[in-house]
């Protein structure tokens, strides 16, 4: 590869002169550099950093690939589990039932466990049950009991649904609901402690374990932070203890008649969604029991690949963008589509604290959902708005918005169950359930990530062939590389022609 360096006006060759000992070409051999080679390597890296316009990467596409790396577990603590991230639309982990291994999606928006395939070492309760989700999917089958091993804990006689495998429910796959027992269909069917949700069973048999779950979701395209995600039960992840100083956001309680539809839901501040134009988006709640009609009730749901919001909120975010179009996409419903090179910045506020949404989370590539390439009337490639108008009408108006993965990738979240935990003898000492959010998105770094991703091809999804997902190990460079000026405290890349709607607002 050749390029022009600002230090050397003539073309030079950017070659990394690694040499492997010819006597040891094993898979585990490590390249060794002499001092002279080290200088040459340094020069070559400077060349790479300074010739972005000429940098070419060989990219191979695969659909719905698993990420290249997984976050490392911090030690061998019980209660801490690494996640697998499938293209930012599904986060999974492993568990065993009756000694059999299953890969399950984590879902804080539901409370039941189901797996596809026959669990041979199990007890049939004779009951049948089913679960359904807001997107119209679901599962049904016999309710069985078996020994569950999950996140370092063992639970005897855990109730679950055994599903017959099919195209929608592949064998050895499943879903673990991490919500409160009040929303459990299995518990409502059995009406015994065996039917309690998984986390309730863990909390009740491990009384010294604090009654909380923490969630950290990774971002596949992120060129500066490579992790898949992690969850922990009863302990904080290493390096995230600052969350203890964040506001305790009270979980709003569904009315008695809607208790089976209880979720982890909290109140958004008044006029606290800041759109790309820097202006607040006014909201009127549809939840009758909310005392302030301008505060929206939002559900935090790790099982939703998109955020569901009122149409007027989605309109306020995406409609002003040049080239935006409102589309009806097969399998997704009505959704905004905007040019993929548009940087969309959104901020949410809870209890006076600002939580910025990474622009890589504000839009999604259509092929993630098996949709063909979309172009507008100008011929621009379009991406889908992650904050989508509701594609369903909630049967019970217990919330105004559902904030799924695109929001949760920007925070480290603590779900404290408080007195949501079913049964036990210490209910008077548990306190009220609450949520704490620690922002993990730095606005300046997020802008740089977006510029790098959409201009250099590091994880660029928007120019690939239809139906594929790029599998790229992003090159990490200094934030200073290639930048030459600042605007509003944020460095701007001169060589890139990119439209930036705004920087983040506080």
pLDDT value for 4: 34
Q: Are 201 and 176 in contact (CB under 8 A)?
A: no
Q: Which residues contact 20 (CB under 8 A, 6 or more apart)?
A: 29, 31, 32
pLDDT value for 472: 28
Q: Are 421 and 202 in contact (CB under 8 A)?
A: no
State the chain's mean pLDDT as an integer: 77
Output the CA–CA distances (angstroms, integers) from residue 366 to 77, 403, 449, 466, in the order listed.
Answer: 39, 19, 20, 9
pLDDT category, 70, cuts 50, 70, 90? very low
What 8-state DSSP symbol labels residue 113? E
Q: Which has the higher per-residue pLDDT, 41 or 300?
A: 300
Q: Go through the domains of the chain in sequence order and give each one's CATH number.
A: 2-54 (no CATH), 80-217 (2.40.70.10), 245-442 (2.40.70.10)
pLDDT category, 106, cuts 50, 70, 90? very high
Whether 30 has a pLDDT exceeding 60, the answer reads no
pLDDT value for 477: 24
pLDDT value for 255: 73
Whether 54 has a pLDDT exceeding 50, the answer reads no
Q: Which residues contact 57 (CB under 8 A, 6 or more apart)?
A: 457, 458, 472
Q: Are 351 and 298 in contact (CB under 8 A)?
A: no
pLDDT value for 431: 85
Say which range, 13-27, 62-76, 181-195, 356-370, has the weakest mean pLDDT: 62-76
pLDDT value for 396: 67
What 8-state DSSP symbol labels residue 243? G
58 vs 337: CA distance, rounded Å? 28
pLDDT value for 159: 98
Closest by Cα among 275, 215, 228, 253 to 438: 215
pLDDT value for 51: 40
pLDDT value for 144: 98
pLDDT digits over 296-346, tens only? 999 999 999 999 999 999 999 999 999 999 999 988 999 999 999 999 999
Say which range, 47-56, 112-121, 422-431, 475-484, has the weakest mean pLDDT: 475-484
pLDDT value for 259: 66
The percentage of the chain sitting over the pLDDT mark of 70, rounded to a whole number, equals 71
How large is the average pLDDT for residues 433-457?
89
The percentage of the chain sitting over the pLDDT mark of 90, rounded to a whole number, equals 59
pLDDT value for 78: 60
How large is the average pLDDT for residues 29-34?
41
pLDDT value for 493: 31
pLDDT digits over 346-389, tens only? 999 999 999 999 999 999 999 888 888 999 999 999 999 999 99
pLDDT category, 49, cuts 50, 70, 90? very low
Whether 505 has a pLDDT exceeding 80, the answer reads no
Give the position of tokens 């599962």: 139
Q: Which has the higher per-residue pLDDT, 239 or 396?
A: 239
pTM across the whole model: 0.75
pLDDT digits over 413-429, tens only? 999 999 888 765 455 45
pLDDT category, 256, cuts 50, 70, 90? low
pLDDT value for 439: 98
| E strand residue ranges, 186-330 | 212-217, 229-233, 249-250, 265-267, 273-274, 280-281, 297-300, 307-309, 325-329
Element (H, E) at 128: strand 123-132
Say which range, 120-134, 373-387, 447-461, 487-501, has the weakest mean pLDDT: 487-501
Q: What is the DSSP string of 217-233?
A: E--TT-SS----EEEEE
How large is the average pLDDT for residues 111-122?
97
pLDDT digits over 145-167, tens only? 999 999 999 999 999 999 999 99
């Amino acid at each position: 590869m050749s390029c022009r360096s600002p230090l050397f006006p003539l073309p030079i060759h950017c070659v990394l002169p690694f040499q492997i000992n010819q006597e040891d070409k094993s898979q585990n051999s490590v390249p060794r550099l002499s001092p002279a080679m080290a200088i040459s390597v340094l020069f070559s890296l400077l060349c790479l950093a300074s010739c972005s316009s000429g940098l070419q990467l060989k990219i191979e596409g695969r659909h719905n690939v698993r990420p290249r790396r997984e976050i490392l577990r911090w030690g061998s603590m019980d209660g801490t589990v690494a996640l697998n991230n499938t293209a930012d639309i599904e986060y999974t982990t492993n568990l065993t039932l009756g000694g059999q291994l299953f890969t399950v999606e984590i879902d804080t928006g539901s409370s039941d466990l189901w797996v596809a395939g026959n669990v041979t070492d199990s007890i049939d309760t004779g009951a049948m049950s089913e679960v359904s989700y807001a997107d119209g999917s679901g599962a049904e089958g016999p309710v069985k009991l078996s020994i569950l091993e999950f996140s370092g804990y063992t639970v005897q006689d855990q109730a679950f649904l055994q599903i017959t495998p099919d195209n929608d429910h592949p064998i050895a796959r499943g879903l673990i609901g991490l919500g409160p027992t009040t929303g459990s269909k299995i518990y409502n069917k059995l009406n015994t402690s065996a039917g309690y949700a998984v986390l309730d069973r863990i909390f009740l048999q491990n009384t010294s374990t604090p009654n909380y779950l923490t969630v950290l979701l990774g971002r596949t395209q992120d060129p500066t932070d490579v992790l898949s995600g992690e969850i922990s039960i009863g302990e904080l992840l290493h390096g995230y203890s600052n969350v203890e100083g964040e506001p305790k956001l009270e979980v709003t309680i569904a009315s008695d008649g809607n208790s089976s539809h209880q979720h982890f839901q909290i109140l958004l501040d008044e006029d606290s969604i800041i759109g790309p134009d820097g202006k607040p988006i006014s909201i009127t709640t549809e939840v009758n029991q909310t005392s302030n009609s301008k505060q929206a009730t939002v559900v935090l749901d790790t099982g939703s690949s998109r955020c569901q919001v009122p149409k007027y909120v989605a309109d306020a975010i995406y409609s002003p963008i040049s080239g935006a179009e409102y589309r009806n996409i097969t399998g997704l419903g009505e959704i905004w589509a905007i040019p993929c090179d548009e940087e969309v910045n959104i901020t949410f506020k809870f209890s006076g604290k600002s939580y910025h949404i990474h622009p890589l989370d504000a839009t999604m590539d259509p092929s993630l959902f098996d949709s063909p390439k979309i172009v507008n009337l100008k011929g621009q490639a379009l991406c889908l708005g992650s904050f989508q108008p509701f594609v369903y009408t909630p049967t019970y108006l217990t919330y105004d918005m559902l904030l799924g993965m695109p929001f949760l990738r920007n925070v480290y979240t603590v779900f404290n169950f408080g007195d949501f935990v079913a049964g036990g003898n210490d209910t008077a000492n548990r306190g009220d359930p609450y949520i704490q959010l620690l922002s993990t998105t730095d606005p300046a770094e997020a802008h740089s990530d977006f510029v790098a991703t959409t201009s250099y091809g590091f994880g660029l999804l928007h120019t690939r062939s239809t139906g594929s997902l790029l599998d790229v190990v992003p090159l990490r460079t200094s934030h200073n590389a290639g930048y030459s000026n600042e605007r509003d405290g944020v460095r701007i890349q001169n060589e890139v022609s990119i439209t930036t709607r705004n920087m983040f607002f506080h």
